[in-house]
Amino acid sequence: MKARTLLVLAALAGGAAGCKPPPTDAAVARVSLLTASGPSAPLPSPDTTLAAWTSTANPLRLVYGEPGKPVLVALECIAPATPEAQLRITRHAPADEGAGALLALIGNGRIGRFPVDATDFGGRALWQGEVSALLPEWDALKPEREATVTVPGAGLVKLNPSPLPMQLVEACRGEPDARDLPATPA
């Protein structure tokens, strides 16, 4: 009798286990969707109709934006006139902490793709990267036509033509015919 009871109990236990579906990753996926945070919402492209490049107190740094409004893009030379000369480009738009991207600089028949990272500026992250000043992609900033700067999710910034950015690039490269930049505080 005991053997028969054990057999019935085993059959019931097996049947009960058969009623439950097998484990799946669906529960994990639901939890991941609830707790994961994705990238921030994309920003619209700013109106740059009245924007211009402006010199700063640092003669090796330019800012781009509309007078009286926040800066949109900054360009700064590091280690000028050396083989290690770099241009630091900053897209003044919020970046997600720890994010990285490629900033596209397009203009005058040139396309530059420069790595940028979310960089902390007084408690907020902005897109910033440093790239060799010797790269020909910087020639996108020549004053003949407008150029554009874009970082995924940070909108497209149209850069109105100006001789200032290319003068900074040439000075940073150490080109002998580079003109001095005017040092006017912004």
Q: Which domains does the chain have, with CATH numbers?
A: 52-173 (2.60.40.1880)
Whether the pLDDT of residue 7 is over 80: the answer is no
pLDDT at 4: 59
What is d(CA 27, CA 111) in angstroms, rounded to the nearest whole number? 45
Cβ neighbours of residue 137 closer than 8 Å, sequence gap 6 or more: 105, 110, 111, 112, 113, 114
pLDDT digits (tens, 9 = 90+) for 102-149: 999 999 999 999 999 999 988 899 999 999 999 999 999 999 999 999
Burial environment of residue 178 by CB neighbours within 10 A (0 to 12, 13 to 18, 19 or more): middle
According to DSSP, the residues that pair with 102 across neighbouring strands are: 115
Instruction: Supply the pLDDT for residue 13.
Output: 52
The per-residue pLDDT for range 53-103, each reduced to its tens digit, is 999 999 999 999 999 999 999 999 999 999 999 999 999 999 999 999 999
Bridge partner residues of 114 (DSSP): 103
Which amino acid is it at 132? S
Backbone φ, ψ for residue 124 (5° rounding): -130, 150
- pLDDT recorded at residue 35: 45
In the predicted model, is pLDDT for residue 36 greater than 70? no
Radius of gyration of the chain (CA): 28
